[in-house]
Structures are given as structure tokens and as C-alpha cells.
């Protein structure tokens, strides 16, 4: 809210305030829909003209994330900025932070964009990760393999998602090809983790430091794309506590405000931090119908400086992604008792494109 | 959906289709939010520049409801038209119907806009209403009073809502003043009903004739404005059935497609039809968190020709309106465990202005 007399930004956010969202995908769309429940209008900044979030917001800026004139106009038009997409340049966030609160901020984004930083942070906080080493060239890759062993996975440190920028090294014969796939980018070698299960913790940290985690979610991927999430994960209490504690420690260390997701591998009775996503997360979509407060509402509350809502579950939840052609069955899914359909308003179902999802909530046994 | 080859409208609605909404208030806003869940973009037509629905839609037309050029452009831009406001001129709907499906249509609107027609329809279907008579002048008013008796209520037949255009006649001395308040408009005299309770049935009828009613809701008004709704109403089974049956008969008689609300008085062990609202309804707001499918989602399904969802309740529901200054307590309400806050993004809380509402859902005893 902007003080009409002085033009100064007031601490208290509320009806009439405007939330800026960097990124116009389905996550931004669902953040904007949640904000609307609280009377908050959204301004979406995205480079793509056909961004799904544009259909549900009060104002749009179509510009490159590095366009400083556009960023300055955006900053002037909103009361707080958040992001739905972790590959926004950190410099753009630094630029915005000079004009308007940005939550989460550049610091959290910088760590989450860099696999080396995120794993180093997790380790420094006492959480476990796969063995890893920085790789810049053939020499450092050989040294890393000598220490970590094979099989291992070589990944670019930045801009990786849904399995892109990754190469498995099963044996010495794969090394040259894997390095070539990095395309000269800084990389990280990670020990191959023959994990039993993959889980994620979706949690929010408020501007007052209050922390609230949703039930731990178990995730199943197809072709490196999330296929199904189930919450709560059927996991021993001790592991749930370890995963939630690691997430809380990471959020606190990053001075994080908003919803974040931490992905873990479950192996040998322990949990290993795999990735930090500084945003609402696909594996948290079950919260829309499955929790007292959805991850999107919770994120809006956190970044707008409002009290966090209850993260309590409403039952046993399953979320199923609709990828590519799977969305063509939407009419059947809409008619299915107990299924809640969410479509993102994207034009054409392309292979691998996330078109929507469904949730199913059943009473907990 | 428009066929790319022929330009013809296809029967099947779906992602990529566009829903036109006449009226830009909070009801249109909540319809647009529900449509977004199904990947459907909305185009809102409203005369007021600061319409709350404009903040959550893909396209806007700011024009008078009688502006035929604007209506033609609107019709060309959408696949189906619905309304959130029953005082749109019937002629505008007739005009639109020549270009695009309108649901509910002009016929339903014409009946709902006219207290004489709606009560006559209810009677013709075997439902009970208060005694009523048409009033055009002093002579017809005197005749009506002679038949119906006093106390009675004189109302304009058209454009009445929230207690506007109504005058109570307690005794002969009130007659002249009451008639003057009608301002020369056609009116209806209704027997004063010393009702015990007020209830409403919110229900949907699909384009296939399928009918689904939500739990009957009990309503409490303050200063003629809905204050609180509770569902399910604590009512004998037989009365619930009578109210739902009357609503189904009305919907069928009007060839209705969409969500409608019928308000009833409960008196002497019977239910009397009071009003038909051809739209989603304030007393159905509890369905957002309290039913498997909200009234807004159900309305979108119906008008878009999709399968109706389950109208099953998720528990015992209470909805509390935030009128005028009551909305200033939003931050406290947001922090209240179990309360779900909805604000409409309206600027200034004026006395009598509906600013938002909260719902509370508890397990059913």
C-alpha cells in the first residue's frame, strides 16, 4: 500500500495493494488466482506474449527480464515483487531490490540457481547431500571422478530443470561426451544416488520468521518430469523430521520469505538434499484442495507480510500432472467424481509440456 | 471453441475457449477465477471502469449494456455468454442471442427481473408464494389491499434488490407514501409474511437437463443485506425436498442453464418462494470451501456445456459477509484458524457495500 500523502510504501499490505510477479507460467497464474481471493491485484512481468498468467492479472509487462526500463516501470507499479521462475537473472532482482521489496530476494535466488551453492549450503547446515565436486574442465572432471567414483552425473551448475543439462557417466568411455554436453558451462559432478524414493518438503517462511511446512510429499517422475505426487509420504517420523528440519534451516539461512521447496532423495534410512526451488512447486499442487491453505495462498501471505495460514492437510492427497497429450482427456477427468481438474490455459499440448494437473483428496485412514 | 477451418462454433467447450461475462462485480470475479481453473479465459463486459472482475480476466469491454456495437464485438470475441447480474436489459440478451449462446438466456432473465412473473411462474408450478397482486395505481392498490389485507409490502416489480424499491404498508395511513415511493413504476403488493426463517436453494442445471442442488442454506439478513448463511439448514426432510423440488421445477420450466438461486420463506411448516436469482448467489458463497464443487465452478461447467460436478458438502458451513467497515478487520480474519477470507478488491468500504466474506467449514456432527 502506498501512502497517498508521502508516496512512501507502508509496511502493511492489503486490499488495494499490488503484487508483482516475475514469470508468467502456470505457477504465476496460480499465485495470481490466490492473491485475488485476498483482494490483491497482480501485475505479471514476463517475456512471452502468451503467458498463462496474463489471463488472470490486472496488469502485464511483456519484456525481457534484463530490460531495466521495463523493470523500473514494474517496480513503480507494485508494492512487492515475487517470482514464479528461478531462472530470472539475479541482476534483475538486485536492480528491483533498489526500488521495491523482492521476496524471495536476490540472495536466495543466487544460491538456488547454482547447484554448487545449494549443495554447499545444505552441507554447511548439517544436511546430507550426494557427494559432489565442481567441474570446469577435463582435469577437474578426472579429479572429481577419482574421488567420487562412477557411476556419477555431470550437470551444469546453472539453469538446469526437468533433466536438461545433465549427462550420466556410467564408465570412463562416457566422460568426453558428457563434458561436451556441458557446452563449456561450469558444472558439478554428483555421485549417482540409487535412491529408493524422492520426496519434497514444501514450506513457507513469513517475513516475521514464522515457518510452516506442509505434509512431506512423495514424488514419482516420468522422463524427468514430475508425474505423480502423494501426500503425506509414507515415511518414518524420524526422516520426516530430518527433511523438515533441513528445510527450515535452509529457509532461515537464506533469510527466505515465501514458499520454497526442497527435494530430497531417500536412501539407506536417510534423506539427501537434491535441489532447492525458491518458489511454489509442482509437487505442492495437491495443497490447492488438500490443505487448509494452499501453497499459493501461503506464498501470497508470506510475500505480502501477512500471517501464514494453517498448513494442515485435509486428507490423503494425490496430484497427477497432465503432460502433453494427457490433457486431451480433460473432459473425462472433469466428470470423474473426486477429481479436481486444473488446466493452465496453454494453447497446444506439446510433448513434455505441463498442461494441467488433477488432485484427488480422500479421508485419511 | 471456434473451428479454425470454417469459423463455425463447435459444440464442445474447453481449454482455449472464451467465456463472456455480463457484469463486473464480485460474482463475475469469482466466476472468472473458477473458469481459470479449467483453463478457460474470460472476457468481462461491464460499464464501470473499476469493476472488480476486470482484475482477473483476459479481456474487458467497458460499455453500457445497451451499446449494440460493443455487444456485437463482445459476442464475436467469446464462445458463450453468461451473466453475474440480473439487471442487464433483456433486450441486450436478445441481441446477443442472435450471435452467440447466452446462458441463462433472455427468457429466464425476463422472468427473474419481474416479481409478478416469478411469483406467477412459481404458483403455476404448484409452489407456494405469499399472496400477491399487481399494482399500477391507487385504484389497483386499494383493490389489492382489500383482498390481501394489511400489513403488506409494496415493491416495484423490477430492479429490486437488497431492500431497494420496497415500502411496508402497516396501515391505511401508509398507503399514499408507499405508492409515491414506487415512483410511477409497475408494482406488486405482497402479503407481509411473518416468516420464521429464510432459506435458499442454490442449484445448477446443465445444458443436458441434469440438475444438482447444493445443501439448502439458511440466511440471516441485517438491514436487508445478507449477513450470514449456514448450510445445511436445520430443516425437516420434507421441507428440504419441497424447496429443492420447487427449484428443479422452476429451472426446468425456464429451460435454465447455469446456477440459479431460489429464496424461500419458511412459515407454518411450509416453504414460500420469495425470489428467483438467475445467477450465482451470495448465499452460495460457502460452497467455495464447503462443497466438492463450488457454485462458481458449477456455473462455469453448466454454461460451458460441461458435466456438472458433485454438489456434495464437505462439512457444516458458515458464510459471513463483510459489509462496509467490517472488511477493515480483514487482517484479523486472515489470521483466524479455520476462516477462509475472500476479498473482492473493491476500493473504499462504503456503508452497505459488500467488500468480501469469510467461510468456515467444520466437520458435520
Q: How many CB pairs under 8 A join A and B?
A: 110
Interchain proximity A307–B334, CB inside 8 Å: yes
The answer to whether residue A29 scores a pLDDT higher than 60 is yes
Q: Count the helix, strand and coil residues of chain B and give each as a percent rounded to the nearest 5.
A: 30, 30, 40
Strand boundaries in chain A, DSSP class E: 18-22, 41-46, 59-62, 80-83, 128-129, 132-135, 152-156, 166-169, 187-191, 197-205, 211-213, 217-222, 225-231, 258-267, 270-277, 316-323, 339-343, 354-362
| Cα dist from A215 to A203, A229, A356, B259, B283, whole Å | 9, 12, 22, 35, 33
The answer to whether residue A161 scores a pLDDT higher than 80 is no
The answer to whether residue A355 scores a pLDDT higher than 50 is yes
The answer to whether residue A7 scores a pLDDT higher than 60 is no
> Crossing angle for the helix pair B26-37 and A26-37, nearest 10 degrees?
150
Residue A77 sits at the chain B interface (C-beta within 8 Å): no
291-350 in chain B: CB under 8 A from chain A: 292, 301, 306-307, 309-310, 327, 330-331, 334-335, 337-338, 341-347
CB A340 within 8 A of CB A358: yes
Distance CA A119, CA A111 (A): 9
Say which of B37, B54, B343 has its CB closest to residue A15.
Answer: B343
Lowest-pLDDT choice from A239-253, B7-21, B52-66, B302-316: B7-21
> Binning pLDDT at 50, 70 and 90, where does residue B165 land?
confident
Share of chain B above pLDDT 70, in %: 95
Neighbouring CB atoms inside 10 A of B307's CB total 14
Check whether the bond before A231 is cis (ω within 30° of 0): no
Q: What is the pLDDT of residue A314?
A: 93
Q: Which among A12, A14, A334 is the top mutation candidate for probing chain B, defined by the most B β-carbons within 10 Å of its own β-carbon?
A: A334
Q: pLDDT by residue (tens digit) across A86-138?
A: 999 999 999 999 999 999 999 999 999 999 999 999 999 999 999 999 999 99
> Binning pLDDT at 50, 70 and 90, where does residue B8 land?
very low
The answer to whether residue B3 scores a pLDDT higher than 60 is no
Q: Count the helix, strand and coil residues of chain A and give each as a percent rounded to the nearest 5.
A: 30, 30, 40
Q: pLDDT by residue (tens digit) across B55-89?
A: 999 999 999 999 999 999 999 999 999 999 999 99
In the sheet that holds B18-22, the strands lie side by side as B59-62, B41-46, B18-22, B80-83
The answer to whether residue B151 scores a pLDDT higher than 80 is yes
Residue A174 sits at the chain B interface (C-beta within 8 Å): no
Say which of B42, B301, B345 has its CB closest to residue A15.
Answer: B345
The SS3 call for residue B358 is strand
| Residue appearing with cell numbers 512487492 | A80
Q: pLDDT by residue (tens digit) across A260-318?
A: 999 999 999 999 999 999 999 999 999 999 999 999 999 999 999 999 999 999 999 99
| Cα dist from A2 to A18, A101, B80, whole Å | 10, 13, 39
Q: With beta carbons under 8 A apart, name residues in chain A contacting B10.
A: none
Distance CA A355, CA A342 (A): 9
The SS3 call for residue B249 is helix
| Residue appearing with cell numbers 546430507 | A128
CB A148 within 8 A of CB A154: no
Distance CA B289, CA A288 (A): 11
Say which of B36, B307, B337 has its CB closest to residue A55.
Answer: B36
Q: What is the pLDDT of residue A341?
A: 96
| Cα dist from B11 to A253, A286, B97, B113, B210, whole Å | 55, 32, 16, 29, 17
Of the candidates B32, B78, B56, B40, the one whose C-alpha atom is nearest the C-alpha of residue B296 is B32
**DSSP track, A257-308:** -EEEEEEEEEETTEEEEEEEESS--GGGTTHHHHBSS-HHHHHHHHHTTPPP
CB A189 within 8 A of CB A148: yes
Question: How remote is the C-alpha of B53 from its chain's centroid?
Answer: 16
Residues 6+ apart with CB under 8 A from B12: A331, B1, B305
Q: What is the pLDDT of residue A2?
A: 41
Interchain proximity A330–B58, CB inside 8 Å: no
> Binning pLDDT at 50, 70 and 90, where does residue A348 land?
confident
Of the candidates B191, B169, B341, B205, the one whose C-alpha atom is nearest the C-alpha of residue B278 is B205
**Can you tell me the mean pLDDT for A3-7?**
38
A339, three cell numbers: 477429481
> Binning pLDDT at 50, 70 and 90, where does residue B11 land?
very low
CB B106 within 8 A of CB B272: no
Q: With beta carbons under 8 A apart, name residues in chain B contacting A327.
A: 15
Q: What is the pLDDT of residue A232?
A: 97
Q: With beta carbons under 8 A apart, name residues in chain B contacting A338.
A: 292, 310
Distance CA B271, CA B127 (A): 8
| Cα dist from B118 to A54, B154, B283, whole Å | 41, 16, 19
**Distance from A70 to chain B by nearest Cα, in Å?**
21
Q: What is the pLDDT of residue B161?
A: 52
Q: Which among B345, B353, B364 is the top mutation candidate for probing chain A, defined by the most A β-carbons within 10 Å of its own β-carbon?
A: B345
Mean pLDDT of chain B: 93
Of the candidates A177, A211, A185, A204, the one whose C-alpha atom is nearest the C-alpha of residue A287 is A204
Say which of B15, B56, B307 has its CB closest to residue A56.
Answer: B56
Helix ranges (H only) for A104-226 are: 106-112, 115-124, 138-148, 175-181
CB A227 within 8 A of CB A254: no
The SS3 call for residue B75 is helix
| Cα dist from A169 to A144, A151, B209, B323, whole Å | 12, 6, 61, 64
Q: pLDDT by residue (tens digit) across A10-25?
A: 345 666 789 999 999 9
Say which of B39, B327, B338 has its CB closest to residue A345.
Answer: B39
Residues 6+ apart with CB under 8 A from B245: none
Q: With beta carbons under 8 A apart, name residues in chain A contacting B37.
A: 33, 341-343
The answer to whether residue A9 scores a pLDDT higher than 50 is no
> Binning pLDDT at 50, 70 and 90, where does residue B1 land?
very low
What residues pair up with B41 in beta bridges, in sequence order? B18
Interchain proximity A343–B37, CB inside 8 Å: yes
Q: What is the pLDDT of residue A347?
A: 83
Amino acid at each position: 500500500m502506498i501512502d497517498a500523502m508521502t508516496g512512501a510504501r507502508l509496511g502493511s499490505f492489503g486490499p488495494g495493494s499490488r503484487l508483482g510477479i516475475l514469470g508468467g507460467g502456470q505457477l504465476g497464474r496460480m499465485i495470481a488466482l490466490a492473491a485475488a481471493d485476498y483482494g490483491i491485484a497482480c501485475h505479471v512481468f514476463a517475456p512471452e506474449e502468451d503467458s498463462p498468467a496474463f489471463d488472470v492479472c490486472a496488469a502485464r509487462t511483456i519484456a525481457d527480464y534484463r530490460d531495466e526500463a521495463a523493470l523500473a516501470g514494474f517496480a513503480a507499479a507494485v508494492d512487492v515483487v515475487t517470482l514464479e521462475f528461478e531462472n530470472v537473472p539475479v541482476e534483475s532482482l538486485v536492480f528491483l531490490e533498489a526500488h521495491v521489496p523482492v521476496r524471495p530476494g536476490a540472495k536466495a535466488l543466487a544460491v538456488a540457481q547454482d547447484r554448487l551453492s545449494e549443495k554447499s549450503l545444505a552441507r554447511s547446515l548439517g544436511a546430507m547431500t550426494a557427494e559432489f565436486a565442481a567441474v570446469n574442465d577435463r582435469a577437474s572432471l578426472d579429479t572429481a571422478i577419482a574421488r567420487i567414483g562412477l557411476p556419477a552425473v555431470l550437470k551444469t551448475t546453472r539453469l538446469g530443470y526437468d533433466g536438461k543439462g545433465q549427462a550420466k557417466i556410467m564408465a570412463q568411455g562416457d566422460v568426453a561426451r558428457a563434458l561436451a554436453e556441458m557446452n563449456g558451462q561450469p558444472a558439478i559432478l554428483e555421485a549417482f544416488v540409487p535412491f529408493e524414493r524422492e520426496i519434497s518438503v514444501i514450506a513457507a517462511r513469513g517475513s516475521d520468521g514464522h515457518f510452516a511446512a506442509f505434509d512431506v510429499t512423495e514424488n514419482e517422475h516420468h522422463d524427468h518430469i514430475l508425474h505423480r505426487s502423494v501426500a503425506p509420504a509414507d515415511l518414518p517420523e524420524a526422516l520426516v523430521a530430518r527433511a523438515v528440519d533441513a528445510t527450515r534451516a535452509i529457509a532461515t539461512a537464506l533469510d527466505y520469505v515465501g514458499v520454497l521447496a526442497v527435494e530430497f532423495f531417500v536412501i539407506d534410512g536417510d534423506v539427501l538434499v537434491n535441489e532447492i526451488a525458491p518458489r511454489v512447486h509442482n509437487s505442492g499442487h495437491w495443497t490447492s484442495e488438500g490443505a487448509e491453505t494452499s501453497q499459493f495462498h501461503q506464498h501470497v501471505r508470506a510475500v505480502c507480510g501477512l500471517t501464514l495460514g494453517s498448513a494442515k492437510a485435509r486428507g490423503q492427497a494425490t496430484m497427477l500432472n497432465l503432460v502433453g497429450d494427457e490433457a486431451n482427456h480433460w473432459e473425462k477427468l472433469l466428470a470423474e467424481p473426486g477429481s479436481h481438474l486444473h488446466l493452465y490455459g496453454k494453447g497446444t499440448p506439446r510433448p513434455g509440456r505441463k498442461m494441467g494437473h488433477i488432485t484427488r483428496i480422500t479421508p485419511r485412514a
